[in-house]
Amino acid sequence: MTGLALLIPIALGLGLFGLVAFFWALRTGQFEDMDGAAARILIDEEGDGLP
Amino acid sequence: MSVAANRAPEQERTVLVVPGMHCAGCMAKVERGLAGIPGVSAARVNLTARQVAVLHDAGVTTPALVDALAAIGFPAQPRVEDLAPPASAVKPLLAPLGVAGFAAMNVMLLSVSIWSGAAGSTRELFHWLSAAIGVPAIAYAGRVFFASAWGALKHGHTNMDVPISIGVTLATVLSLYETVTGGATAWFDGTLMLLLFLLVGRTLDAMMRDRARAGVDALLRQAPPGALVVGKDGSVEWLAAGQLVPGMVMRVAAGERLAADGEIVSGQTRLDLSLLTGESAPVAALAGAEVHAGTLNLDAPVDVRVTAAGQGTTLAEIARLMEASGQVRSAHVRIADRASRLYAPAVHTLAALSFAGWMIAGAGFYKSIVIAIAVLIITCPCALGLAVPVAQVVACGALMRKGVMVKDGSALERMAPIDRVLLDKTGTLTRGRPVPDPLVLASMGADDAAVALALASHSRHPLSRALVEALSVEGVSAATLEAVREEAGEGVRASWNGVEVALRRPGLAGGMASVLDIAGRPAWLIPFADSLRPGATEALAELAALGAPASILSGDNAAAVAEAARATGLDAVGEASPQAKQQAIAALQAEGHKVLMAGDGLNDGPALAAADASIAPGTASDVGRQAADFVFLGESLAAVPIAIRASRRTMAVVKQNFALAIGYNVLAVPLAMAGKVTPLIAAAAMSISSLIVIGNSLRLVRVAK
């Protein structure tokens, strides 16, 4: 029973953390441009000087 | 002074629409190009909306930003505020989806131990924990369904959300009762999982609508109609179409579209009426001639006195016709709603029967109600809720990759039973713009072609621009010219290595043509013609094979229509007014045909709205694109049979999905009515049937081949 008392809050806390992180992402507009986010990773930031 | 001014610059935010962005390379080019302008501090692309937000000093003007983008090859326009994108349909669903996901996973975690045999105080503790997570989560995530069900009930009809809401509410109340009284079974896990699956289906549906709308909006937003208005003192000012008032004088340059109806005050030109009437041959217009909004000025700048604007124009007349002809659309009941009309009464009857049956058998009120609720939970249309949206989303994604944008899922449903296709001629069956004769271009020398390209690039005349496009595609590079001057209505003159050269209209302009003069060499006559879209013949043959024979319904003159009919071997009706097109469709519908209208012009708008389904090319008028269910980008007419075939396969898969979902119910309902269903069985059955439906729908990934 003592194991449960520890593990259940941990499990719920982790889940809650994920939920809060999701709401944070939602609020800071990270779902505004799904296509752009997928494409942005392909942009070569240091590529300017290369031929 | 300058130091202080630089340290605290007035920052402004400008949003530009850049329809040409498609990939990471485009994004990088646009962002770097803009960031390189002095005074611009940041530029951020939104690829979904095809927009770029620029943060800049007050000194940087919007035209400067547009010019900078044009210089790196991206035509851009400032965003028109009243056409700002409508609120996203996905966003309000994301938070409920997150909450349902979180709660379903955590409650499932607790339920697994109960299923494994936890008893006594542990089970009671876990039930209370489940209730603490589940009840608020159900209240929050279920709002989407409760609101929709309440809206339907208030208006006296029912939809899929009514049985969902009843099932969810009853299951929650029963589970709470079980928890409080220390009972053996609570249904929070199943209820939350049901909400999660249904929200996934709902979100997919919304995502599809958002994506399609983003694509169409990007097209719509790029052309704000308006006109340069000449004041009494000779000053000129750009006014939007809505601000034009009868009596104003608009100056319409060659290559511009008229923003209002009017009368030519000075100048003479030829007009292209193809968008308005389908007529392909240019019409000469002298001073005093009556001209209509939407026509394209071909030759020379003219001043036009506005006689009607806004509500009074031919455009507004067409808009009224369109409004009156949307009945077919609104009469169409989506397949999911049709299914739920049968489904909801059946489910509620079954639940009521089980309750009555167990009461008669003497099982007692409590046991009877538990069994009735179990029937409701097990029949909750979980797979049914996914059956339609998943299939449609997958099919729309496949079509979008082929360059066919679908406005919403019901378009696929209406497209599937099509058995007649009516095609507009100018702009739909044909490219809708003049293309220089490829034989003449091929026989030109390299020097001549280079001079022609250089001359044409100095003019905004539609023929010149067509010539630039054709020559650029062939890899010709422009010659260096000096002393270039454009004479309105005549052509472009210049000197090339000391030789006089000119690109001008032919002396006696019969058809559409340009003449290239190079002093000391024979002149080239370059004829222009509107040609059939590539793939037209194959596409028409394929339509016939699909059991949807096509015919031409055009507003163009009989001779031009007859020529197109000869080239394609189709029946054709010419000189059809917008009303006549609408009536032709109504006549076919009265015979029991399902009609697809393919058209692009303003004059096709009412027909597009009246037909069972409609498709327009991306080059169509705003009205055409707005009225059509499908918009295909790219030149080829093959998009039409592709869209029909994809719709038919999608509907076949949707029907299979319904069969699978109902088959699951046929197995599960007798168990529930017998009182044998536990929360474990309910959860397993629900997930398995949903996964099967999703898996079946994923077969549509290659539907648009």
**Would you call B293 an interface residue with chain A, using a CB distance cutoff of 8 Å?**
no
| Pairing relationship of beta strands B77-78 and B513-518 according to DSSP bridges | unpaired
- Shortest CA gap A17–chain B (Å): 10
Beta-carbon separation of B102 and A42 below 8 A: no
Residue B239 near residue B226 (C-beta atoms within 8 A) = yes
C-alpha B564: how far from its chain's center? 29
Using CA atoms, how far residue B105 sits from B101, B172, B395, B698, in Å, is: 6, 17, 30, 25
Residue B543: which of B638, B422, B402, B641 has the closest Cα?
B641
DSSP for B200-252, please give it.
HHHHHHHHHHHHHHHHHHHHHTT---EEEEEPTTS-EEEEEGGG--TT-EEEE
Q: pTM for this structure? A: 0.74
pLDDT of residue B509: 52
pLDDT of residue B315: 65
Sorted by sequence, the CB contacts under 8 Å of residue B177 that are 6+ apart come out as B183
Instruction: Name the DSSP letter for residue B298.
Output: -
Q: Is the pLDDT of residue B224 over 90?
A: no
Token pair, residue B485, equals 């001057």
Residue B275 near residue B621 (C-beta atoms within 8 A) = yes
Phi and psi, residue B156, nearest 5°:
80, 10
Beta-carbon separation of A23 and B98 below 8 A: yes
Q: What is the mean pLDDT of residues B633-655?
A: 90
Q: pLDDT 10s digit of each residue in chain A, 51 long?
A: 678 788 888 888 988 999 999 999 988 888 777 778 888 888 776 555 444
- What pLDDT, in 10s, does the model give residues B462-511? 778 788 888 887 778 888 888 888 776 678 888 888 888 888 877 665 56
Token pair, residue B561, equals 């229509």
Sorted by sequence, the CB contacts under 8 Å of residue B231 that are 6+ apart come out as B237
Beta-carbon separation of B46 and A43 below 8 A: no
Helices (H), B578-638: 578-590, 605-610, 622-627
Using CA atoms, how far residue B375 sits from B82, B181, B185, B672, in Å, is: 50, 22, 15, 5
Residue B39: which of B21, B62, B15 has the closest Cα?
B62
- What pLDDT, in 10s, does the model give residues B268-285? 888 877 766 666 677 788
Q: Using a CB-CB distance cutoff of 8 angstroms, which residues of chain A are in contact with residue B102?
A: 15-16, 18-19, 22
pLDDT of residue B135: 94
Q: Is the pLDDT of residue B97 over 90?
A: yes
pLDDT of residue B215: 57
Phi and psi, residue B421, nearest 5°:
-125, 130
The residues of B annotated as belonging to the active site are 424
pLDDT of residue B648: 94
Strand partners, B252: B302
Token pair, residue A21, equals 């992180």
Q: What is the mean pLDDT of residues B616-620?
A: 82
- What pLDDT, in 10s, does the model give residues B336-391? 777 777 877 888 888 899 999 999 988 888 888 888 888 888 877 677 778 888 88
Residue with tokens 């009412």: B606
Distance between CA B197 and CA B159 in Å, rounded? 18
Query: b/e for B664-683, b at 16 or more Cβ within 10 A?
Result: bbeebbebbbeeebebbbbb
Beta-carbon separation of B99 and A33 below 8 A: no
Q: Is the pLDDT of residue B518 over 60?
A: yes
Q: Shortest CB distance from B47 goes to which of A1, A8, A35?
A: A35
Sorted by sequence, the CB contacts under 8 Å of residue B77 that are 6+ apart come out as B16, B17, B66, B221, B222, B223, B224
Q: Is the pLDDT of residue B9 over 60?
A: no
- Strand, helix or coil at B642? helix
Token pair, residue B197, equals 């699956």
Poorest-pLDDT segment among B207-211, B252-256, B646-650: B207-211
Distance between CA B108 and CA B133 in Å, rounded? 11
Beta-carbon separation of B48 and A40 below 8 A: no
Beta-carbon separation of B48 and A26 below 8 A: no
Q: What is the mean pLDDT of residues B657-670?
A: 85
> What is the arrangement of strands in the sheet containing B226-230, beginning at the earlier edge strand?
B236-240, B226-230, B249-252, B302-308, B261-266, B290-291
Residue B210 near residue B88 (C-beta atoms within 8 A) = yes
Among all residues of chain B, which has the CA nearest to that of A4? Answer: B122
- Shortest CA gap A21–chain B (Å): 10
* Cα three-residue angle B601-B603-B607, rounded to 5 degrees: 100
**Would you call B132 an interface residue with chain A, using a CB distance cutoff of 8 Å?**
no
Residue B207 near residue B700 (C-beta atoms within 8 A) = no
Pick the residue of B47, B52, B126, B211 with the most A CBs within 10 A to test the interface with A by mutation: B47
**Would you call B204 an interface residue with chain A, using a CB distance cutoff of 8 Å?**
no
- What pLDDT, in 10s, does the model give residues B128-147? 999 999 999 999 999 988 99
Using CA atoms, how far residue A23 sits from A11, A16, A37, B98, B133, in Å, is: 19, 11, 18, 8, 17
Sorted by sequence, the CB contacts under 8 Å of residue B605 that are 6+ apart come out as B318, B319, B321, B322, B578, B621, B623, B624, B627
**Would you call B45 an interface residue with chain A, using a CB distance cutoff of 8 Å?**
yes
Distance between CA B165 and CA B175 in Å, rounded? 15
3-state SS of B469-523 is: HHHHHCCCCCCCCEEEEEECCCEEEEEECCEEEEEECCCCCCCCEEEEEECCCCC
pLDDT of residue B203: 87
Using a 10 angstrom Cβ sphere, with 0-12 exposed, 13-18 middle and 19 or more buried, the burial of residue A3 is exposed
Phi and psi, residue B482, nearest 5°:
-125, 160
Token pair, residue B520, equals 């000391």
Residue B165: its H or E element = helix B161-180
Chain A positions contacting chain B at CB under 8 Å are 1, 4, 8, 11-12, 15-16, 18-19, 22-23, 26, 31-36, 39-44, 48
Please, what is the average pLDDT of chain B? 82
Residue with tokens 């729309």: B396
**Would you call B547 an interface residue with chain A, using a CB distance cutoff of 8 Å?**
no
Residue B648: which of B403, B303, B412 has the closest Cα?
B412
Residue B432 near residue B600 (C-beta atoms within 8 A) = yes
Q: How sure is the predictor about B87, in pLDDT bands with cuts at 50, 70 and 90?
A: low
Q: What is the mean pLDDT of residues B304-333?
A: 68
- Strand, helix or coil at B437? coil
Residue B359 near residue B368 (C-beta atoms within 8 A) = yes
pLDDT of residue B487: 75
Residue B568 near residue B552 (C-beta atoms within 8 A) = yes
Distance between CA B163 and CA B344 in Å, rounded? 6
Sorted by sequence, the CB contacts under 8 Å of residue B697 that are 6+ apart come out as B386, B387, B390, B391, B394, B653, B657
pLDDT of residue B222: 46
pLDDT of residue B75: 77
Q: Is the pLDDT of residue B82 over 70?
A: no
Strand partners, B421: B550, B596
